[in-house]
Structure 1
């Protein structure tokens, strides 16, 4: 089973968006972020042919990134998981995977830093300390024996790709 972890694309600057009086939750991708993510998704499709499901943080920028992936992956269903919001413990999303993805073979996960690199590190080592730096629109591929029995420290790293290797 494969987990493809994808950080959201380039979003509006936090400080600039805050000046508009809106919560960070609603901060969207920039036009540049959308275009870059489309290019990344197209290149990713050459390597990863399909997803059974795309799971997104409910925050706007992650959801927009997931929708771009869904368009490139022929309308693959997108679901939101509150366990992917920044600050959630990695154990929470692992529990979500065991319950919600137990019969799937490959899922894409779209979210934020440092949550995603913490989750990947947790899955690789079983420890709550991150050692990965995931760039915006970056991708990490992990393999687990089964989503239903996935456990911390039980994943293997398949690849870690910064966006510049896919589109520059």
Structure 2
């Protein structure tokens, strides 16, 4: 089973968006971020041909990134899950993967930092401290024996690709 971890693309600056009086969870991607993510998604298809499902944080910038991925990946279904919000503990996402991921072979998840790199580190080493630097639009691929039986410290790293290698 493969878990493709994708950090959302470049969004509006936090401080600038806060001046508009809106909550951070509504912060959208920039036009440049959208265009770059489209390039990343197109190039990623050279390495990963399809996803069974794209799972995303409900935050606007992650949802927009997931929708870009869905368009490039032939309208793959997008599901929002609260376990991908930045404050969610890695154990919650692991529980979701075990219960809801069991019907899939390749899942893409789209979310935020440091949540995603912490989750990847947790699956790789069993420790909830991140040792991964995941840039906006960056991708990490992990292999697991089974989503239903996913255990901490048992994943294998397939690849980690910074966005500059796919978009530039």
> TM-score normalised to the size of structure 2?
0.99
The SS at the match of 2:45 is: helix
Q: Over the residues paired in the alignment, what is the CA RMSD in angstroms?
A: 0.5
In structure 2, how many angstroms separate the alpha carbons of the residues matched to 1:11 and 1:157?
27
- Superposed CA offset, 1:91-143 (max 9, x none): 10000011111021000000000000000000000011110010000000000
Ranges in structure 1 where 5+ consecutive residues have no aligned partner: none
In structure 1, how many angstroms separate the alpha carbons of the residues matched to 2:121 and 2:87?
15
Partner of 1:80: 80
The SS at the match of 1:3 is: strand
In structure 2, how many angstroms separate the alpha carbons of the residues matched to 1:116 and 1:65?
14
Matched, 1:118 2:118: yes
The SS at the match of 2:51 is: coil
Ranges in structure 2 where 5+ consecutive residues have no aligned partner: none
Partner of 1:19: 19
Runs of 4+ in 1 over 2 A off after TM superposition: none
The SS at the match of 2:142 is: strand
Partner of 1:99: 99
Matched, 1:2 2:2: yes
- Superposed CA offset, 1:60-93 (max 9, x none): 0000000000000000000011000002110100
Contact 2:41-2:72 at 8 Å conserved across structures: yes
In structure 1, how many angstroms separate the alpha carbons of the residues matched to 2:55 and 2:16?
28
- Superposed CA offset, 1:128-165 (max 9, x none): 11100100000000000000000110100000000011
In structure 2, how many angstroms separate the alpha carbons of the residues matched to 1:61 and 1:53?
18
What is the aligned residue count?
A: 168
Contact 2:2-2:141 at 8 Å conserved across structures: yes
